[in-house]
A and B are shown apart, each in its own frame.
Chain A
Amino acid sequence: DTAVSQTPKYLVTQMGNDKSIKCEQNLGHDTMYWYKQDSKKFLKIMFSYNNKELIINETVPNRFSPKSPDKAHLNLHINSLELGDSAVYFCASSQDPTGTQYFGPGTRLTVL
């Protein structure tokens, strides 16, 4: 069984479109995250939810909106996509906010 899963794995879209990425974890963890990894491979946190409460909201354009319907799911919706949004987006989860994080397989977003 996959511990942290993301869909879709690849996403190719046009500038200006709106898209969503979904994440699910079956580890029973309380905390989930979204990271962006750019072309230079730097892994930067975007959002973190603990027990469905937003606890980290980094300096991210408000075109990005996370939603956590329950502890096992964390989705990322992106409005008005821009070229600079092209990156790999990773979801991760951990038992608590300072514990070991387990990553999903990533979603490679390409904005044309």
Chain B
Amino acid sequence: QKEVEQNSGPLSVPEGAIASLNCTYSDRGSQSFFWYRQYSGKSPELIMFIYSNGDKEDGRFTAQLNKASQYVSLLIRDSQPSDSATYLCAVVRTGRRALTFGSGTRLQVQP
């Protein structure tokens, strides 16, 4: 089982819809969870982080964490074509002083 698992996609949604991106992790003791966005040919940039169970909202983005089920998700409301990118989930695993990244989900927002 991969340490951080994401569906590679592409996930295709129409403009204005809600995009739902999911990530599961294997280490039950993982503490911190991050979502990064990476446009083609660019570097990853942080969208948001979440530490506690539940939802965290920031503008059109909502991160959801469920530690019991070991998944974290990212919802993008009112998706725009400019949201088309690869979304990377990253986790701080127990005793590890670094982030472990998933392989990313490619999102395509159709105009």
Contact = CB atoms under 8 A, between A and B. Distances in A.
Chain B interface helix/strand/loop/mixed? strand
Interface residues of B, number: 21
A44 B90 CA distance: 11
Interface in A18-43: 33, 40-43
B34 A100 contact: yes
Contacts of B86: 41
A86 B4 CA distance: 24
Contact of A103 (B31, B44, B49, B103): B44
Interface stretch (B19-27, B74-82, B91-99): B91-99
A106 interface: yes
Contact of A56 (B34, B43, B90, B97): B97
Interface of B: 31-32, 34, 38, 42-46, 49, 86, 88, 90, 92, 97-101, 103-104
